[in-house]
């Protein structure tokens, strides 16, 4: 293979990585496995020599149509190529076998995704988190060294706060929120392509996220509002009793009941819906409303199973994250013994040591939980739409190309 042929094939793979098959999208030729299209977008004609995709990538063997239309009932007919003699490509082209996933898969496969597409699944969240953490640390440094606050003085003045410090605090908070959206969203393309045995870079995954950035931000805003309302309702009895000046045990008890009966399950529901819908928005290129409508159909019959998976996965990864952060805190305390009388050295040591462990733990949570959401989305489509057969057929087509 010449260098020009290799470059052409890499460019075609890069273009294909920007698409993910959706139930509404359909292709009319064998090249559909190479250029999956989002709903409403025309697919390139692989049989047309004038098409940039046709002449360079048309497979030499017999054409096999690959359709991603809505399932007509059941799992549909098995493709002849897969029914006769399935190859390794047709049953496990990437990090998972193409079948509905079991409970253990959701706990172990995210680590495979981190290794396989590490540039996207680990590198991208690390980049976003690093930027937001640096801004946050700079903002904290500005707060501690602000002369109007005088926090480093023996007696803080607290006479005000400078405009620059306020501006940097606002920027750091916004960047922290954006880093959460970007880090959680960019993982889906990396996991989806790892399922097909493909590696992509951050630029390819970012272009897929960028095209639906408005829907992702709107989904994040709606989820935040829903969680805030649940929080307010759960602690309303305590807030009302404090406002009335008569705090009592009954209000606290009622808030605890509302916490376990309303806030905890409601929070899991919002988090689960947001995670799967986010993967759907990025991979299928649809709007937030369309994603939520599709989610209600996909998750039917698998809701409590999905909640259990999310609860266990989140609990495990948060335990690991907490251990890492405690290690960082102990490390910062240990470093403080180097120069116990120098306040500046103590602050720098604490921010560096604790900041590094905070970044590592946060990236681990983003990568792991984001991979679980992407796998939940793929698993639901396998169970309800026969998506494993579509992916197997696409893997066979790509292997022959």
How many whole angstroms separate alpha carbon 338 and alpha carbon 350?
12
pLDDT for res 227: 93
pLDDT for res 36: 36
pLDDT for res 74: 45
Q: Is 74 helix (H, G, I), strand (E, B) or coil?
A: coil
329 touches 322 (CB < 8 A): no
Tell the residue number behind the tokens 């699944």, with chain if given: 121
pLDDT for res 317: 93
Phi (first) and psi of residue 67, to 5 degrees = -110, 140
Distances (CA, A) of 213 to 21, 58, 219, 271: 19, 33, 10, 19
332 touches 354 (CB < 8 A): yes
pLDDT for res 381: 94
pLDDT for res 181: 93
Q: Is 179 helix (H, G, I), strand (E, B) or coil?
A: helix
Phi (first) and psi of residue 326, to 5 degrees = -65, -40
pLDDT for res 339: 64
324 touches 357 (CB < 8 A): yes
pLDDT for res 340: 64
Q: What are the beta bridge partners of residue 26?
A: 67
pLDDT for res 87: 57
pTM here is: 0.77
How many whole angstroms separate alpha carbon 84 and alpha carbon 41?
33
pLDDT for res 350: 72
How many whole angstroms separate alpha carbon 123 and alpha carbon 81?
37
How many whole angstroms separate alpha carbon 209 and alpha carbon 223?
18
- Nearest one of 222, 379, 194, 216 to 305, comparing CA atoms: 379
Find the largest Cα–Cα distance for the chain: 82
Task: Going residue by residue through the chain, which has 401 residues, state the pLDDT in tens, using 9 for 90 and above.
Answer: 565 555 555 545 544 444 555 555 433 333 333 333 333 344 434 334 333 333 333 333 333 333 333 344 444 444 444 444 455 556 788 899 988 999 999 999 999 999 999 999 999 999 999 999 888 888 888 887 777 776 766 666 667 788 888 888 899 999 999 999 999 999 999 999 999 889 999 999 999 999 999 999 999 999 999 999 999 999 998 888 888 877 677 888 898 999 889 988 899 899 999 999 999 999 999 999 999 999 999 999 999 999 999 999 999 999 998 888 888 778 777 776 766 666 666 777 777 777 788 889 999 999 999 999 999 999 999 999 888 888 888 778 777 76
Q: How far apart are the first and last CA of the chain?
A: 13
Contacts of 18 (CB under 8 A, 6+ apart): 204, 207, 208
Element (H, E) at 269: helix 264-284
Tell the residue number behind the tokens 């998506």, with chain if given: 387
Under DSSP, the state recorded for 152 is: T
Under DSSP, the state recorded for 212 is: T
How many whole angstroms separate alpha carbon 51 and alpha carbon 284?
23
Distances (CA, A) of 237 to 43, 157, 267, 390: 56, 37, 19, 52
Half-sphere exposure at residue 137, Cβ-oriented, CA atoms within 13 angstroms: 18
Which stretches within 285-342 are classed as H helix? 288-298, 303-336
How many whole angstroms separate alpha carbon 336 and alpha carbon 350?
7
How many whole angstroms separate alpha carbon 132 and alpha carbon 169?
11
pLDDT for res 79: 47
Phi (first) and psi of residue 234, to 5 degrees = -65, -40
- Nearest one of 337, 328, 377 to 357, comparing CA atoms: 328
CA triple 242-245-249, angle to 5 deg: 60
């Amino acid at each position: 293979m010449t260098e020009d042929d290799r470059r052409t094939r890499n460019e075609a793979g890069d273009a294909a990585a920007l698409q993910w098959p959706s139930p509404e999208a359909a292709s009319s030729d064998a090249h559909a496995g190479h250029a999956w299209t989002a709903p409403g977008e025309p697919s390139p004609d692989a049989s047309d020599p004038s098409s940039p995709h046709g002449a360079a990538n048309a497979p030499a063997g017999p054409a096999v149509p690959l359709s991603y239309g809505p399932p007509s009932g059941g799992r549909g007919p098995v493709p002849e190529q897969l029914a006769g003699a399935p190859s390794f490509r047709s049953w496990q082209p990437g990090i998972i076998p193409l079948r509905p996933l079991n409970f253990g898969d959701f706990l172990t496969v995210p680590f495979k995704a981190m290794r396989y597409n590490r540039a996207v699944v680990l590198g991208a969240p690390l980049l976003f988190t690093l930027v937001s953490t640096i801004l946050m640390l700079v903002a904290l440094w500005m707060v501690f060294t602000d002369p109007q606050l005088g926090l480093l003085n023996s007696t803080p003045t607290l006479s005000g706060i400078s405009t620059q410090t306020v501006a940097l605090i606002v920027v750091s908070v916004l960047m922290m929120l954006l880093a959460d959206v970007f880090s959680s969203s960019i993982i889906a393309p990396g996991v989806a392509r790892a399922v097909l045995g493909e590696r992509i870079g951050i630029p390819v995954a970012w272009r897929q996220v960028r095209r639906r950035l408005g829907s992702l931000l709107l989904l994040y805003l709606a989820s935040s509002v829903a969680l805030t309302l649940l929080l307010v309702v759960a602690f309303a009895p305590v807030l009302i009793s404090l406002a009335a000046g008569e705090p009592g045990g009954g209000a606290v008890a009622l808030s605890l009941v509302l916490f376990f009966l309303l806030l905890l399950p409601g929070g899991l529901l919002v988090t689960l819906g947001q995670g799967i819908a986010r993967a759907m928005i990025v991979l299928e290129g649809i709007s937030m409303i369309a994603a939520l409508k599709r989610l209600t159909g996909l998750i039917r019959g698998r809701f409590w199973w999905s909640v259990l998976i999310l609860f266990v996965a989140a609990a495990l990864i948060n335990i690991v994250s907490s251990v890492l952060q405690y290690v960082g805190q102990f490390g910062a305390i240990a470093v403080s013994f180097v120069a116990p009388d120098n306040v500046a050295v103590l602050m720098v040591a604490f921010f560096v040591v604790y900041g590094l462990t905070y970044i590592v733990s946060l990236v681990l949570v983003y990568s792991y939980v984001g991979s679980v959401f992407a796998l939940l989305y793929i698993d639901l489509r396998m169970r309800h739409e026969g998506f494993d057969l579509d992916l197997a057929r696409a893997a066979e087509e790509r292997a022959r190309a």
